[in-house]
Amino acid sequence: VVDIKGGESEGLDSLGQVLTVRGWVRTLRVQSSVTFIEVNDGSCLSNMQCVIDSDAEGYDQVESGLITTGASVCVEGLVVPSQGKKQKIELKIQKLVTIGKSDPSFPIQKKKVTREFLRSKAHLRPRTNTFGAVARVRNALAYATHKFFQENGFVWVASPIITASDCEGAGEQFCVTTLIPSSKEAMDSPADAIPKTENGLIDWSQDFFEKPAFLTVSGQLNGETYATALTDVYTFGPTFRAENSNTSRHLAEFWMIEPELAFADLNDDMACATAYLQYVVKHVLENCKEDMDFFNNWIEKGIIDRLSDVVEKSFVRMTYTDAVELLLKSKKKFEFPVKWGCDLQSEHERYITEEAYNGCPVIITDYPKDIKAFYMRLNDDGKTVAAMDMLVPRVGELIGGSQREERLDYLENRIDELKLSKESLWWYLDLRRYGTVPHAGFGLGFERLVQFATGIDNIRDTIPFPRAPGSAEF
Ligand code: 4AD
Ligand code: MG
């Protein structure tokens, strides 16, 4: 790998070497004496500029029009200094081989294409600068996530994708059933292939799991079982929500990072969330320089300064009650009016972090119990719970977490109040019966983190194959 732009030398230390580059043609410029072929293999943003003249082996492929945007090629040549301003080196081609030609209908030509258009070409969009850069930064964030938790003694736990419980209690689950007969006919008409009772209802006793099963909305409850055995754990996997919200911050399938800390309270939880975010942001600033410069120039001016501040400054902390007061005092006209007890909307969250605190992340704590999930620990006031949400500019809520209710009697009361089923949560209640401990955790939406770190404004452009209402192609 020759580090063309990312490294200090911009490739100069490979001058004089003979290299083989395999990649895809981005552009072809035919001039009277020479032809330039820009090749990209996805290892970095910059293309390798390759120059070919008529005596090189394989030049006939240029003449016959075989080399076009999108084609895959293998080029062999000598690294020489470049005359151009854009790069320090280029490859003087000695041998050119077309591996796969590209049909003229290749939809991503040099002309500027919109991100909406590229969403309909999700199979080809990683070949663009923007999506290549997003993929590399997303990868770096995932790597830094494991690195952070591993260095701090957390154990990674696989939480199940299929589950019988609804962690958040919001009824936003996708249901999983078996198709019998499992055949092409069943795929064509799934409704007919689901086992049914005489009166036409789904016959769960005949179904694979013998009761209703769902795609998980959160791995938290499973994470808690391992935290109360291994102390500090985290999950990192796909989660699913059938929220019918067609927004730029919601996906039906998204990845979540959920640490769970035993012998810990809400303060420990907030400290962990802050250290984690600062660590991963610092990691991409240090390791993805070329891609971050690209985002800074083309996607969000000033993103590097914004992220550098996040690494250095301490985050604001305030209670929900104070946040409501701040919103009531602001002169801003909100679409949703604010009063104590209401859930904060994205416009409120963004006002707090973007305007009231000038882009600094804000952690809001102690929300009313009625707008939060059953498992959160009741505060002494009897009205609020030990919850925390971290709000960041552009995204709003990046993290949601809490100290968990570790007291069996309080938890049972809350389950009853919300008319949830103690029977199906028997295993979760057992954790409070056998050696309960104070514990806390949080969930971070990985695609929202990618939005935050790249400046990409629509969440559908942060995951390779977005799942949203009405879209599950590819
Ligand atoms: O606030 P949420 O619903 O919290 C939980 O699921 C807890 N069980 C987490 C925990 O304490 N272990 O979701 C956590 C985060 C949100 O802050 C948001 O970043 C992200 O998950 N998120 C979504 N991201 C994309 N699309 C959606 N539909 C999302 N819903 C939540
Ligand atoms: Mg939340």
Query: Is 385's pLDDT higher than 80?
Result: yes
Residue 358 CB contacts under 8 Å (≥ 6 apart), including other chains: none
Give me the domain span that covers residue 325.
131-173+217-461
Summarize pLDDT for 96-133 with one digit per residue, the tens: 999 999 999 999 987 778 999 999 999 999 999 999 99
Query: Is 181's pLDDT higher than 70?
Result: no
Q: Whose CA is nearest to atom 28 of ligand 1?
A: 250
Q: Could you tell me if residue 4 is inside a domain?
A: no
Q: Could you tell me if residue 52 is inside a domain?
A: yes
The strands making up 213-215's β-sheet, listed across from edge to edge, are 162-163, 213-215, 175-176
Same domain for 384 and 425? yes
Same domain for 89 and 234? no
Report the atom number in ligand 1 closest to the C-alpha of 260: 12
Q: Could you tell me if residue 248 is inside a domain?
A: yes
Give the distance (Å) from ligand 1 centre to CA of residue 446: 9
Number of separate domains in the chain? 2
User: What ipTM goes with this model?
Assistant: 0.99
Question: Residue 327, Cβ neighbours under 10 Å: how many?
Answer: 21
Same domain for 141 and 86? no
Choose which residue among 220, 345, 448 to substitute to test ligand 1 binding: the one with the highest number of ligand atoms within 8 A of its C-beta.
448
Q: How confident is the model at residue 302 (pLDDT cuts 50, 70, 90)?
A: very high
Per-residue model confidence (pLDDT) at position 261: 98
Same domain for 336 and 284? yes
Summarize pLDDT for 410-434 with one digit per residue, the tens: 999 999 999 999 999 999 999 999 9
Burial class of residue 387, CB neighbours in 10 A (0-12, 13-18, 19+): buried
* Mean of all residue pLDDT scores within the chain: 94
Question: Residue 257, Cβ neighbours under 10 Å: how many?
Answer: 24
The domain that holds 47 is classified in CATH as: 2.40.50.140
Same domain for 231 and 335? yes
Last residue of a domain, one of 50, 81, 100: 100
Under the phi-then-psi rule, with left for phi > 0, alpha for psi from -120 to 50, and beta for the rest, what region is 444?
beta
Give the distance (Å) from ligand 2 centre to CA of residue 140: 25
Q: Which of 14, 201, 163 is nearest to 92 (CA)?
A: 14
Question: Do 241 and 410 contact (CB within 8 A), yes or no?
Answer: no
Same domain for 83 and 155? no
CA 215 to chain centroid, in Å, comes to 18
Per-residue model confidence (pLDDT) at position 178: 83
Show the beta-strand stretches assigned E in 289-436. 316-319, 362-365, 387-392, 396-403
Same domain for 422 and 293? yes
Q: Could you tell me if residue 342 is inside a domain?
A: yes
Give the distance (Å) from ligand 1 centre to CA of residue 219: 10
The domain that holds 427 is classified in CATH as: 3.30.930.10
Residue type, 7: G
Same domain for 95 and 149? no
Same domain for 389 and 264? yes
- Least confident span in 73-82, 95-104, 109-118, 331-340: 109-118
Same domain for 26 and 138? no
Same domain for 163 and 76? no
Last residue of a domain, one of 57, 80, 100: 100
**What is the rounded distance in angstroms from the CA atom of residue 52 to the CA atom of residue 91?**
9
Question: Do 192 and 177 contact (CB within 8 A), yes or no?
Answer: no
Q: What is the CA radius of gyration of the chain?
A: 27
Question: Do 414 and 378 contact (CB within 8 A), yes or no?
Answer: yes
Same domain for 94 and 142? no
Under the phi-then-psi rule, with left for phi > 0, alpha for psi from -120 to 50, and beta for the rest, what region is 466?
beta
Question: Residue 216, Cβ neighbours under 10 Å: how many?
Answer: 27
Choose which residue among 277, 365, 397 to substitute to test ligand 1 binding: the one with the highest number of ligand atoms within 8 A of its C-beta.
397
Q: Whose CA is nearest to atom 2 of ligand 1?
A: 400
Q: Whose CA is nearest to atom 6 of ligand 1?
A: 218
Summarize pLDDT for 218-271 with one digit per residue, the tens: 999 999 999 999 999 999 999 999 987 889 999 999 999 999 999 999 999 999
State percent of the chain over pLDDT 90.
Answer: 86
Q: Could you tell me if residue 123 is inside a domain?
A: no
For residue 213 the two structure tokens come to 């099963």
Q: What is the pTM of this model?
A: 0.96
Per-residue model confidence (pLDDT) at position 403: 98
Q: Could you tell me if residue 195 is inside a domain?
A: no
Give the distance (Å) from ligand 1 centre to CA of residue 374: 15
Q: Could you tell me if residue 341 is inside a domain?
A: yes
Q: Could you tell me if residue 194 is inside a domain?
A: no
- Residue 84 sits at φ, ψ, to 5 deg, of -70, 160
